[in-house]
Amino acid sequence: QVQLVESGGGLVQAGGSLRLSCAASGRTFSRYAMGWFRQAPGKEREFVSAISRSGVNYADSVKGRFTISRDNAKNTVYLQMNSLKPEDTAVYYCAAKGSLFGSVYTHGEYDYWGQGTQVTVSS
């Protein structure tokens, strides 16, 4: 069982930055691929970024602006978000994927989810 707790969300002006953190419980954190997803009101949950043994992945909409990283010693995954835009406004969720199979882009492939943190970007 893995418990995930996100933090770092908030209100920021367009062009600003935020860093999200996701702290995980458990001793097997390093075995999991970790992903960030987001969901805006009235929209589907969408992939943002993932980090795994295979490397890192980004949605086209955030490539070049967001950076994912992890510190296995601290059981934490981060999402550094720069040059934020109003369309980045959403609840951001981190998730853990245990299987080596399946796509990191698909939210149904993840086993554990955090409660989400709100990111609001004003224009």
pLDDT tens, position by position, 35-73: 999 999 999 999 999 999 999 999 999 999 999 999 999
Asked if the model's pLDDT at residue 32 lies above 80, the reply is yes
Taking the C-alpha atoms of residue 52 and residue 97, their distance in angstroms, rounded to an integer, is: 9
What does the block give as tokens for 41? Answer: 């009101």
pLDDT band for position 101 (50/70/90)?
Answer: confident
Taking the C-alpha atoms of residue 110 and residue 108, their distance in angstroms, rounded to an integer, is: 6
Average pLDDT, the chain: 96
Asked if the model's pLDDT at residue 92 lies above 80, the reply is yes
Number of Cβ within a 10 Å radius of residue 41: 7
Cβ atoms 35, 45 nearer than 8 A: no
Asked if the model's pLDDT at residue 27 lies above 80, the reply is no
Distance in Å from the first CA to the final CA of the chain: 40
